[in-house]
Structure 1
Amino acid sequence: MNLRFLQTVIAVSTTGSLAGAADMLGLSHSAVSLQIKALEDELQIRILDRSTRPPRLTDDGLSVLEYGEQLLKLAADIRSIGQSDSLVGAVKIGVVPSVLVKLIPPALANLRLAHPKLSIDIATGMSDDLMSDVAKRKLDFALLTQPGMIPEGLTESVICEEPLDVITAADIPAASTREILTENPFILFNRRTWTGQQIDHYLRSEKLQVKLAMEIDSIEAIEALVAHGLGVSISPRRVGFPESDPRLRRLPIGPPFLLRRLTLVQRDRGPRKRVAKALERELKRIAGQTGTTGMAAPDSHG
């Protein structure tokens, strides 16, 4: 099967016509028609419905389009194997939302600047879903909060550690962390997240009977609610964010200390290891430049 013929099918779908595909590919109208016909003869299916104007993809044609896009991505990945310096091809990265603001954008921008032929797609979600998608090969790798256990077939690299603090509105009278947590409405980070489970486990292990007021899945929303005096919470000192926020008072927890670890998870035998290593180095470099808010992990690659 000629991969260029699959590119022609994609061009027809993208432009909506044979003439548009011809312009996009720099071919004649007849050459586009002949390539589609050759593919139809080889597969013994009808790709285009020629009874309409302009011709449209049939159901079989849509299937060819879907699988053709996957085949062309695989072909690009195979070609990238022999590249010694520049990284090329397409990668899909999963990230937890809390790292999208400060850590991921500069890391990806620098990676793309160094490797302009690298195509990067981002998906967001909760850590357990992202890790499952890496295992199922829906994602190449994911930046997430460290789980209790990594499933067989996956490996992780710690990017940085973020201390967890008790947070209150700036005008709440000073008190011990225990008094603050037990005597005020408590806003909990969603327990479907690993960080939320970590906080919930800490409260139980320390026998802290909090007055649960809300359960929220956004760190930014929790901090805004706390700043307006609607409760207190436990929140990570995130990489890249100012350590001092005039709206909030932060009180370190410990001992025992609480840390949220951000880790890069990938498959043991994934085809994009060179990209993962480059991203890991960039993430650690940025985490190390952001001051004392987050603590970068040592670079395991020298």
Structure 2
Amino acid sequence: MDLRFVETLVVAVEEASLAAAARRLGVTPAAVAQRVEALEVELQVPLLVRAGRGMAATPECKALLPELRRLLAIRGGLQQVLAQDQLVGPLRLGAISTMLSDHAADLVQGLKQAAPEVELTLTPGASAELYEAFEQRRLEAALLVAPPFDLPKTMRFDVIATQRIGVLSPQSGGGDLPFLLYAREAWGGAACFRALQQRFGSPRVLAEMDALETIAQLVEDGVGRAVVPEWAGLQRRHPGARFQPLAVQGRQVGLLSWQRDARRPVQQVLRQILGIAG
């Protein structure tokens, strides 16, 4: 089975369009159709059907997709093993938004200097989403909030910082403003909500979102106040907001990676840039 054809099918399903899949893969729509047809002949089942103006997976295709994606993940893993040992090739790194704002410049510049042949891709997302992408081998590592559960022994989490949790208010008062909630389902948001309840009981809530930079901007604009973690760039990027720490446990953020990759050159360079010892 030609894995290029498998990749084409998976992309066509994700895009729900042969034309969109062709643009993403850099080939013609005719080539996409030919590859899918070749797989249909080899597997002896229909794989795509028309759905409105696009395409959709058949029931047979949906049943096969998990294993087809597994084949592609294995191929990607083999390529990545070779690349990491030679400081060349792609490095797919996920990061929550505040970690991106704190570390993106150092990562881009540091890797350019120490490993110029490494192709860095930074993928933003929430911690839970990034963990799932990492678990599925779609990321080599991720910068996120410490998982609220025990990790498998095959994974490791290196703490980069423990961020204080506190009340963020406009510089000019704001003591009577309603609260903007850091989403309670977010890994870091749950701790902030507990701190909010401990300090303020059941206060007025204006809105809830998993977007700390947006919350900080709204606070700075005088829309509300919030209980949030103190990431490195908070005060620098939002000087119109005042942070007052609370006497609660902070939010830990760090690097999620595979134990087996710890001694690989790319991971060692990554740890050096992020200031992780060992």
TM-score, scaled relative to structure 2: 0.68
Residue 99 of structure 1: aligned partner: 99
Shift of residue 61 of structure 1? Answer: 5.7
Q: Count matched residues.
A: 233
Unaligned runs of 5+ in 1: 4-9, 18-51, 174-179, 285-298
C-alpha change, 1:101 and 1:244, in structure 2 (3 Å) is: closer
Contact 2:188 2:251 in 1 (8 A): yes
**Paired residue type of 1:269:** R
SS of alignment partner, residue 181 of structure 2: strand
Shift of residue 160 of structure 1? Answer: 1.6
Contact 1:237 1:243 in 2 (8 A): no
Shift of residue 277 of structure 1? Answer: 2.8
Deviations 1:116-160 (A, max 9, x none): 221222222211221122222222111001222232132100112
Residue 124 of structure 1: aligned partner: 124
How far apart, CA to CA, are the structure 2 residues paired with 1:278 and 1:110?
8
RMSD: 3.7
How far apart, CA to CA, are the structure 2 residues paired with 1:270 and 1:244?
34
Mean CA deviation greater in 108-117 or 200-209: 200-209
Residue 267 of structure 2: aligned partner: 276
Residue 211 of structure 1: aligned partner: 204
How far apart, CA to CA, are the structure 2 residues paired with 1:267 and 1:212?
40
C-alpha change, 1:162 and 1:206, in structure 2 (3 Å) is: same
SS of alignment partner, residue 261 of structure 1: strand
**Paired residue type of 2:188:** T
Are residue 158 (structure 1) and residue 159 (structure 2) matched?
yes
Are residue 300 (structure 1) and residue 274 (structure 2) matched?
no
How far apart, CA to CA, are the structure 2 residues paired with 1:58 and 1:203?
55
How far apart, CA to CA, are the structure 2 residues paired with 1:2 and 1:129?
30
Residue 221 of structure 2: aligned partner: 228
How far apart, CA to CA, are the structure 2 residues paired with 1:195 and 1:117?
35
Contact 1:167 1:233 in 2 (8 A): yes
Residue 22 of structure 1: aligned partner: none
C-alpha change, 1:235 and 1:271, in structure 2 (3 Å) is: closer
How far apart, CA to CA, are the structure 1 residues paired with 2:2 and 2:222?
64
Deviations 1:21-58 (A, max 9, x none): xxxxxxxxxxxxxxxxxxxxxxxxxxxxxxx8x99743
How far apart, CA to CA, are the structure 1 residues paired with 2:168 and 2:204?
15
Matches within 5 A, 1:1-302: 14=26, 57-60=34-37, 73-74=76-77, 76-80=79-83, 83=86, 87-153=87-153, 154-172=155-173, 180=175, 183-206=176-199, 208-243=201-236, 245-253=238-246, 256-270=247-261, 273-284=264-275, 299-301=276-278
Q: Which protein is richer in helix relative to its size?
A: 2
SS of alignment partner, residue 155 of structure 1: strand
**Identical aligned residues as a percent:** 22
Contact 2:179 2:205 in 1 (8 A): yes
Shift of residue 93 of structure 1? Answer: 1.3
Rg larger for: 1
TM-score, scaled relative to structure 1: 0.64
**Paired residue type of 1:264:** L
Shift of residue 214 of structure 1? Answer: 0.9
How far apart, CA to CA, are the structure 2 residues paired with 1:56 and 1:16?
9
**Paired residue type of 1:228:** D
